[in-house]
Amino acid sequence: MSSAKGLTTILVTLAGIISLATLLWPTPKDLIGETSVQFHVDVGLSFFFGLLYVVGGFLFTLGLSGFTNKLRSVYLTICGGTILMGLTFLQLPIVSLLDAWNQPWVKWHHWNSVCGSRGRHILGSSALCTAH
């Protein structure tokens, strides 16, 4: 097995194990309309795919040495966007892990985006909207 395949297998397995470990995180007390299982599935999947995006973007940048300078700069931009997208997926697990649901920056977005329009929360969970 080549080193790239081995590294990819190890990182995907590690992402899966860490995502399963999110099932042990505490559930927020103010869930409305969503069960604990749904919340943990949201957090686990968000963490898993966030890690895959970040790791995938990083691994792809390692293979850009054979490209021309013009193509390399284009693909580096794409990799940067992929890594940035992965970091946005990691917001929900980080806020949940730190139990930061009552922090001002989370509450502000929560009340203005979710409760006003009844849409899904940018961090992934629609269950954190309490009555005004």
| Structural domain boundaries in the chain | 3-100
- Rounded to whole angstroms, the Cα distance separating 23 from 3 reads 31
Q: What is the pLDDT of residue 27?
A: 79
Convert the pLDDT of each residue in 14-27 to its tens digit: 888 988 888 888 77
Give the Cα separation of 7 and 49 in Å (integer). 17
Residue 58 has pLDDT above 50, yes or no: yes
Percent of the chain scoring above 90 in pLDDT: 17
Does 51 have pLDDT greater than 80? yes
Helix pair angle (3-21, 36-62), 10° resolution: 160
Structure confidence at residue 117 (pLDDT) = 46
Global pTM reads 0.68
Nearest alpha carbon to residue 121 among 35, 34, 47, 53: 34
d(CA 62, CA 100): 35
Q: Closest Cα partner for 52 from 25, 83, 93? A: 83
Question: What are the percentages of helix, strand and coil residues in the chain, rounded to 5?
Answer: 70, 0, 30
Query: What pLDDT was estimated at residue 103?
Result: 77
